């Protein structure tokens, strides 16, 4: 099966529809699928539910989909760098489902592993637990969290071969693998597509079985907050 496509738009062709759920990889602005996000904005797909660690920043990352009013709901754990996100949420234009970071990652991983739900101590006794089933194990309270199964996963890898075996670099590995796993279809953009067999099997972070389409992209790699010492 040919998995490599010439452009982000071509890789998404036939996959987008209004009201869909998208799982997006990345951590802050690190390891985000910049090209695929731009292609979704260009396509104009709307009423999206997006599961992602955060919502990018104003005018970059998932923030561009907020600016174009294409996102109806965010399932996120950190949203503190996006003024437009804050404005839409406080005005009631955007629905928000807060998740602790580890819980969100595990919800994605569980969905990809065929696990419909799991119990965690994280969030018990807080607003996170409201309306959720509680059980006691060994004297400790746990809340039920549902696995996430998305219509589409969009992720970004450092290196991959043409079958989708992928390596993620440093912090980009936090959310990209579980996000890739939980999509019914996974589209991955990559910095470098390498020859089949050139990657050490022991160093593969995501097996190609999870990846359906691949595109090699060009990346701005913007820094969220640049901190330097005074001269």
Q: How far apart are the first and last CA of the chain?
A: 55
pLDDT at position 229? 85
All residue ranges of the chain with pLDDT < 50 are: none
Query: What per-residue confidence (pLDDT) applies to 145?
Result: 98
Total structural domains within the chain: 1
Strand-pair category, 134-137 with 140-146 = antiparallel
Residue 225, pLDDT score: 74
pLDDT at residue number 219: 82
What span, in angstroms and rounded, lies between the C-alpha atoms of 190 and 186? Answer: 13
Structure tokens at 155: 């992720």
Contact 25, 31 (CB under 8 A): yes
What element of type H or E holds 79?
Answer: none
- Per DSSP, 209 falls in state G
Asked if residue 221 belongs to a domain, the reply is no
Helix (H, G, I), strand (E, B) or coil at 111: helix
| 201 phi-psi bin (left φ>0, alpha ψ -120 to 50, beta other) | alpha
As a whole number of angstroms, the distance between CA 106 and CA 178 comes to: 7
Predicted local confidence at residue 139, as pLDDT: 97
230 assigned to some structural domain: no
Q: Is residue 222 part of a domain?
A: no
- 227 lies in some domain: no
Three-class SS state of 89: helix
DSSP, collapsed to helix, strand or coil, labels residue 228 as coil
**Using alpha carbons only, what angle is made at residue 140 by residues 137 and 143, rounded to the nearest 5 degrees?**
80
Does residue 119 sit within a domain? no
Q: What is the CATH number of the domain that holds 33?
A: 3.40.1080.10
Tokens of 94: 């955007």
HSE of 8, CA atoms in CB hemisphere, 13 A: 21
pLDDT at 215: 97
Query: Do the domain assignments include residue 56?
Result: yes
Domain span at residue 90? 4-114+126-216
Chain CA centroid to CA 200, Å: 25
DSSP 150-199: BSEEEEEEEEEETT--EE--GGGGTTHHHHHHTBSSEEEEEEEEE-TT-S
* Phi and psi at residue 75, to the nearest 5°: -110, 100
């Amino acid at each position: 099966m040919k998995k490599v496509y010439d452009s982000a738009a071509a890789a998404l062709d036939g996959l987008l529809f209004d009201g869909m759920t998208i799982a997006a990889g990345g951590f802050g602005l690190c390891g985000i699928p910049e090209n695929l996000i731009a292609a979704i904005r260009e396509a104009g797909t709307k009423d999206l539910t997006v599961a992602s660690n955060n919502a990018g920043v104003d005018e970059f990352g998932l923030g561009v989909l907020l600016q174009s009013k294409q996102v109806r709901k965010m399932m996120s754990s950190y949203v503190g760098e996006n003024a437009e996100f804050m404005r839409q949420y406080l005005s009631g234009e955007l629905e928000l489902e807060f998740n602790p970071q580890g819980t969100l990652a595990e919800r994605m991983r569980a969905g990809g592993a065929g696990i419909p739900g799991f119990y965690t101590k994280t969030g018990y006794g807080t607003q996170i637990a409201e309306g959720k089933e509680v059980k006691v194990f060994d004297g400790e309270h746990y809340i039920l969290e549902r696995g996430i199964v998305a219509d589409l996963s969009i992720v970004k890898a450092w290196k991959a071969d043409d079958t989708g075996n992928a390596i993620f670099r440093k912090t980009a590995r936090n959310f990209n693998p579980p996000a890739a796993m939980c999509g019914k279809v996974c589209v991955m953009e990559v910095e470098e597509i390498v020859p089949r067999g050139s990657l050490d099997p022991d160093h593969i972070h995501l097996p190609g079985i999870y990846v359906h389409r691949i595109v090699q992209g060009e990346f701005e790699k913007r820094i969220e907050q640049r901190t330097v010492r005074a001269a």
